[in-house]
Amino acid sequence: MPAPPLNILTTQRGEVVVVKLDGIVDASTIDALRRILEPLCLQPGARIVVDGSLLSYINSLGFGIFFKLSQVCREQQGRLILAGLQEKLLIVFKILGLEKLLAFAPTCEEAVATLSGSGGS
């Protein structure tokens, strides 16, 4: 049985990097996500939008990684916004006390607009 997919597409929109996630984030895909996202977050002053509009599932490992990488980004004077998440996923961020520790936007476009022209942190 093949591993369940997490397709990761990275595009540059001006000074903003958009990482579009399509699929699921669980224990079987978390390493692939980290391998792509962590180097981006380590770039000084990086502005990153994680477009999660096509994500159907995130488990606790995923919530932890999004927080950790958001912190990494902040330490490098960058910013990371999670965009377009389904309501059912946002509810779990709230259960875990992450809603005030992470930046969210309703859509990818709004997140890109927020970060375009803004300084890092």
Binding site for another protein (CB under 8 A): 1-4, 24, 26-28, 57, 59-61, 63-65, 67-68, 88, 92, 95-98, 100-101
Q: Which is nearer to another protein, 53 or 57 (CB)?
A: 57
Q: Is 9 left (phi over 0), alpha (psi -120 to 50) or beta?
A: beta
- Work out how close the CB of 97 gets to another protein at its nearest, in angstroms, rounded to a whole number: 3
Residue type, 45: G
- Work out how close the CB of 89 gets to another protein at its nearest, in angstroms, rounded to a whole number: 9
- Work out how close the CB of 13 gets to another protein at its nearest, in angstroms, rounded to a whole number: 28
| Per-position DSSP letters for 5-57, written without gaps between them | PEEEEEEEETTEEEEEEEEEESTTTHHHHHHHHHHHHTSTT-EEEEEEEEEEE
CA gyration radius, the chain? 13
- Work out how close the CB of 1 gets to another protein at its nearest, in angstroms, rounded to a whole number: 6
Q: Which is nearer to another protein, 13 or 68 (CB)?
A: 68
Residue type, 35: R
Q: Which is nearer to another protein, 4 or 14 (CB)?
A: 4
